[in-house]
Structure 1
Amino acid sequence: MGELRRKPLIIATVLLCAAVFAVTGRIIGFDRALHLISGPGVGESAFDHPVYTIAESAVVLVLVFTHAWRAPVLLAVPSIVALVLVVEHAAFYRPHISLSRADAVQLMLILSIIMAAGGLLLRMRERSRAALAAAAEERARRDERLDMARELHDVVAHHVTGMLVQAQAALVVAQQDKDKACEMLPGIVEGGTDALGAMSAMVRTLRDNGAATATTDLTADLHRLVERSGLPVRTSIELTGDVRPELGRSVLRLVQEALTNTRKHAFDATSVEVDVHLTDEAVLLSVVDNGKVRPTQSGGFGLVGMRERVHELGGRFFAGATGEGWLVTAELPLEVRA
């Protein structure tokens, strides 16, 4: 809890303890209250009314509960002890109409224990929820890093196979023409560079959870994905050039996850727009819907995975409300990071 929440609790505790003791002093006399001398009331009786006593006790118990629930331990323990002591002092030394002193003391102690226990249970429950949420988010990040394990195999196999074919051809040609064999070396080097770049870009985001698989025709894959989504989607796809397979799979994965989130958390959406464009430097994609039903805490971590994937590929990612729905955008660079 921040400093802004601590100060009001401290002030409220000090004021309430002082107020309870002051009322006790007004009822039985401050000399008796300070020297712990019991006896009949000698002060004003306006505060010696059952309604006031109940209200005062309720405020003390609420503050005990709040400390046990929200306050830091080093603040909660002494504050609760002080509140219980001052209210028990009042229960014992003030005169009561319907309860004996022993009963009043016992009742306030039991109620204080119940309120402190309730606050402590809520504190433990919130911490448990926070720990579970943190663990789930970390799982989502870890899973997203594992999403391209199969993709990594495909990419590496593709590049290494090309290098192997060229190297074997160079060996054969070298027996007849060494100069011509040397001309094939730059192709092998280029293939190795591409393989390293692809591996470097993909090994950071490994996962396999049944994500959509891409073919060599990304446009057709995107249209097929949209058709299977079951959503009222309008598409604008302009891919005038080739996109390397590993990047295409990431584009497909991001669009798939965005449509899944729309279907799960904005089922009232009547319009969804999917735009995918290719520029000289990057693939730009956006998925926007007009759905209103989107809980602030849906329990899912799809956005965490998407953000992790885009950032590891060296791109930029945004997801958030637009005022009329929800927007997901991503920019994925064409050049792989070595």
Structure 2
Amino acid sequence: MGDLRLKPLLEPLLVAVLCGAVFTITGLTSGFGRALYVGGSGIVAPPELLTPSVRIAEVTVVLASAFVLAWKSPALRAAVCIAALALFSLHAAVFRTSFYLSRSDSVVLILMLGAIGVGGGVLLRMRERSRAALAVAAEERARRDERLDMARELHDVVAHHVTGILVQAQAALVVAEEDKSRAYDFLPGIVDGGTDALGAMRAMVRTLRDNGAATATSDLTADLHQLVEKSGLPVRTSIELTEDVRPELGRSVLRLVQEALTNTRKHAHDATNVEVDVRLTASAVLLSVVDNGTARPPHSGGFGLVGMRERVHELGGRFFAGATGDGWLVTAELPLEVRV
């Protein structure tokens, strides 16, 4: 708690010290009495103590401070601190003596240099805000694309079959009004349509988002082994799927593993070992992909991690991606049942 209270006071404290240093140099240059408006020249330091290199260092520190304040500090705090630096710098320009510039020229020079320093900091601040806004927009777009991808996948694989089922069911209702026994003739077609729909969902072979995305068949274990073989990475697999899972869930498992391996290939060039673990529990599918490559920041995976997190969230699961002591880990828990 003490650190949180001290941090907002640190910048004003440093600025106060810097302003005090500027005023001290002004007093040593022109006399403290004169600098404080009490008349007289006061005590003037020997010329060798205030060499051009000292003054250049002073100007550099003041301008650098104004630049950093305008760039990084909260707006109100930055304005107050920069105003204090400007006042003490202008005071120095008026009361110090110079063999090279008149007082008016010194004031103009300080204002110009200050405007350049503060302007540069403000430009960087605006640039960072713009980048942050673009990153947020891009992340939201990635989430929206992932939701759309999932919706289109489900629609494309079942829409045709469900339409056939509805047509046959409606026909059965019409026929049943005259002859109920004839309505039973439509039941095999409805059952076949449902079976075909389930088979189509298990055979999602198209991808609508990435041209090189993996395709899924009815055998998730075989699909995962095939994906690992094509990855070109030194992968060890442990896949324990004792029974079939929902088709859309199997598709998501495959996509998550593929994206995790893609991130490893892109960002962990020095990885010598990658482990893929997929197993089925009583209530969920658990998967993890871990490598021993150089750890990278959480955003290094670009928007792939955003899409992975969004897909897991839409399925009601839990997702984690981050650095470990020896590399990078991606884990997900996907529930077997749809959470409404």
* TM superposition score normalised by structure 2: 0.80
Q: Is 1:49 the equivalent of 2:63?
A: no
**Over residues 117-141 of structure 1, what are the superposed CA-to-partner deviations in whole Å (9 max), with x where a residue is unaligned?**
2212221221122122212211211
1: distance between equivalents of 2:210 and 2:143?
A: 13
**Over residues 261-280 of structure 1, what are the superposed CA-to-partner deviations in whole Å (9 max), with x where a residue is unaligned?**
11111122122121211222
Contact in 1 for aligned 2:71/2:122 (Cα 8 Å): yes
1: distance between equivalents of 2:241 and 2:337?
A: 16
Contact in 2 for aligned 1:320/1:328 (Cα 8 Å): yes
2: distance between equivalents of 1:17 and 1:324?
A: 48
Structure 1 residues 77, 207: CA separation in 2 closer, same or farther (over 3 Å shift)?
farther
Greater shift, 51-60 or 234-243, is seen at 51-60
What is the SS of the residue equivalent to 2:149?
coil
Paired position in structure 2 for 1:222 = 224
Paired position in structure 1 for 2:79 = 77
Letter of the 1:44 counterpart: V
Instruction: List alignment gaps of at least 5 residues for structure 1.
Output: 199-205
Q: CA deviation at 1:25?
A: 3.5
Contact in 2 for aligned 1:285/1:330 (Cα 8 Å): yes
What is the SS of the residue equivalent to 2:256?
helix
Letter of the 1:289 counterpart: D
**Over residues 13-42 of structure 1, what are the superposed CA-to-partner deviations in whole Å (9 max), with x where a residue is unaligned?**
2232233224423543444324397x8x43
**Over residues 290-338 of structure 1, what are the superposed CA-to-partner deviations in whole Å (9 max), with x where a residue is unaligned?**
1126356536111111111112211111212221221111111111123
Structure 1 residues 24, 106: CA separation in 2 closer, same or farther (over 3 Å shift)?
same
Contact in 1 for aligned 2:30/2:96 (Cα 8 Å): yes
Instruction: List alignment gaps of at least 5 residues for structure 2.
Output: 202-206
The match for 2:121 among 119, 122, 135 is 119
Structure 1 residues 282, 145: CA separation in 2 closer, same or farther (over 3 Å shift)?
same
Greater shift, 64-73 or 2-11, is seen at 2-11
Q: Is 1:18 the equivalent of 2:20?
A: yes
2: distance between equivalents of 1:331 and 1:156?
A: 28
Q: CA deviation at 1:238?
A: 2.0
Paired position in structure 1 for 2:90 = 88
The match for 1:337 among 308, 315, 339 is 339
Structure 1 residues 296, 335: CA separation in 2 closer, same or farther (over 3 Å shift)?
closer
| Sequence identity percentage | 62
Question: Across the two proteins, how many residue pairs are aligned to each other?
Answer: 321
Q: CA deviation at 1:77?
A: 2.2
Q: CA deviation at 1:281?
A: 1.4
Q: Is 1:238 the equivalent of 2:260?
A: no
2: distance between equivalents of 1:76 and 1:133?
A: 25
Paired position in structure 2 for 1:128 = 130
Q: CA deviation at 1:96?
A: 2.2
1: distance between equivalents of 2:169 and 2:258?
A: 37
Paired position in structure 2 for 1:67 = 69
What is the SS of the residue equivalent to 1:240?
coil
* TM superposition score normalised by structure 1: 0.81
